Amino acid sequence: MTVMIPRRAALLLSIGLAFASTAALADNPKVKFATTAGDFVVEVYPDKAPKTVENFLQYVKDKHYDGTVFHRVIENFMVQGGGFDARYVEKPTRPPVVHEGREALANGGPRNVVGTVAMARTSDPNSATAQFFINVKDNSFLDPVVIPPGDPVPRFEYQGRVHENVPRSQLTGAAQLYGYTVFGKVVSGMDVVNKIKATPTGAGGPFPSDVPKTPVVITSARLVK
């Protein structure tokens, strides 16, 4: 049976849904980063990656990011910070947060495209703590890889190679398929991020390359309304 909705009611419903969507976006937490290169604002998505966002916001509330630098800047890739102070001493962190990359994508979260913010980590997918990076180009190779249903997985393609009848456990446990968890996006001040990405780099502290020659310091990171 087809239910007919009067045109006026349908219009009101459409407006209501659009308003609800806009309101949901407006309710997403935002963090203003004040840096020596200028200010930018990051919006985070707790409905996409709840544990990751909670972890990040706790570091913000603890003022962990104050006085840290962008210690890794690659102009055609990303800018990374949140872990080292201006003397390149690594700040202490809480235990790592569980990796939520695949779940975030399944919930309609963004990919590693220009302006999105993701957690930095080591080769261990579940090693992210406080460091984050901002994509300054579309970095699809950093996206988590969605594993097709089935066990064994009848067909799986990765980096141009096709694999057939692969035990599911081999794929779900493969570190290279986890990617990086995107949990937010720069919604204001992307010009500042572009300024940071273009800064000259070289060696600095314990790092042999990619360190801004003129330090870019996060003077404060605060939740904003």
In a domain, 123, yes or no: yes
Calculate the average pLDDT of the chain.
90
Q: What is the pLDDT of residue 34?
A: 98
Q: What is the pLDDT of residue 156?
A: 86
CATH number of the CATH domain containing 43: 2.40.100.10
Indicate whether 55 and 31 sit together in one domain.
yes
DSSP state of 170: H
Q: What is the pLDDT of residue 44?
A: 98
pLDDT at 106 over 80: yes
Indicate whether 157 and 188 sit together in one domain.
no
200: amino acid identity, one letter: P
Least confident range from 6-15, 162-171, 181-190, 203-212: namely: 6-15
Decide: helix, strand or coil at residue 125.
coil
Domain extent at residue 32: 27-144+180-224
Total count of domains within the chain: 2
Torsion on CA atoms 55, 61, 67, 70, rounded to nearest 10? 30
Q: What values do phi and psi take at 24, rounded to 5?
A: -65, -40
d(CA 120, CA 79): 10
Indicate whether 113 and 74 sit together in one domain.
yes
Tokens 């901002």 -> residue: 134
Q: Which residue has the higher pLDDT, 8 or 159?
A: 159
